[in-house]
Amino acid sequence: MSISAVVAAWLAQDVPCEVIVATAGEQALGDAGGARLLRASPGLRAPGLLRNAAAAVAAGRMLYLSDADVAPLGRDYLSRALAAARARDGAWAQPWMYRIDRPADGTGVVDLRPGPAVGGRPYCTATVDSGGTLRPCPGEVITRRRMLHCGAVTTEVPVMYPPPGTSPDPADRRDWRAPFHWGAMLLERLLFEEVGGYCRRYYGWGCEDDDLFVKVASRVPVSLAWDESGTGITCLHFEHPYPYSGTPEREANSALYSRRTAGGPAAMIEQDLADARTVVARA
């Protein structure tokens, strides 16, 4: 998998779009594949901070916020996501995803040329052959369990118990994963600015996407793509180790998220707008 392959999949969408890849400092990314490469300040080493920087220079009225290791499946991904958001006059988030694990050809290269999605939702972990065809990983179980979802409500969400031996990291002890991309969100740029963008107080990985979800959901309805049966709006996630799981940095983010959500979305937005003004004043 490469940045250029992911960018190519986004640029192949049937909705014209620009792709902005934001990175902190001088991190080497290789060929950006036609994307606009934004080298932000070395201090912005957190997903939310980088996405704030990218959103500030984006030209479009709509923003699609995502990780760099996630790609759309099919040319109509964005157009269908836009239709789903407009149907509720709100935002759209959390598409179902296939996790690409252990490519069958051994190269780690995935063919992202748009094609039909694998039928239905029988699994979400897949291998891929040299022609780009997804194959199910036998032994996976998908069920539902009740959990606090994005700090908003307690609900039933799908959870995936991966087949034995498919974890990319032998030290990864987690027994389940969400089969949807938690961090993805499509929303109007104006709304993103009105809620203060991503909170600037998280450092490193974790909770910044949950935080944004709570703020946006307090203003408009948010369509949860994984809960909309039959939409088939599906993305690909390229599996990787999780060295940040259980770290002090991650725990600090969790504690910050708990404090912020306890104060309610209005206070969260007020604080983030004030922080945004401070950043502009310093610049």
pLDDT, tens digit, 9 for 90 and up, residues 144-181: 877 655 555 567 788 888 777 666 565 655 567 788 88
Q: Residue 171 in contact with residue 240, Cβ under 8 Å? A: no
Domain count, the chain: 1
Q: Which whole-number Å values give the CA distances from 73 to 92, 99, 110, 228, in the listed order?
A: 16, 12, 12, 17
Q: Are strands 222-224 and 91-93 parallel, antiparallel or unpaired?
A: parallel
In this prediction the pTM is 0.86
Q: Please give the structure tokens belonging to residue 90.
A: 């709100």
pLDDT at 39 over 60: yes
Domain of residue 125: give its range. 3-282
pLDDT, tens digit, 9 for 90 and up, residues 183-204: 899 999 999 999 999 999 998 8
Residues 6 or more apart whose CB falls under 8 angstroms from that of 282 comprise none
Lowest mean pLDDT segment, chosen from 4-8, 32-36, 198-202, 206-210: 32-36
Q: What is the pLDDT of the chain when averaged over all its residues?
A: 80
pLDDT, tens digit, 9 for 90 and up, residues 104-148: 555 555 555 544 445 455 467 777 766 667 777 777 788 887 765
pLDDT, tens digit, 9 for 90 and up, residues 272-282: 999 998 866 66
Residues 6 or more apart whose CB falls under 8 angstroms from that of 222 comprise 90, 91, 92, 93, 185, 213, 216
Q: Which whole-number Å values give the CA distances from 10 to 5, 68, 105, in the listed order?
A: 9, 11, 24
Q: What is the CATH number of the domain that holds 264?
A: 3.90.550
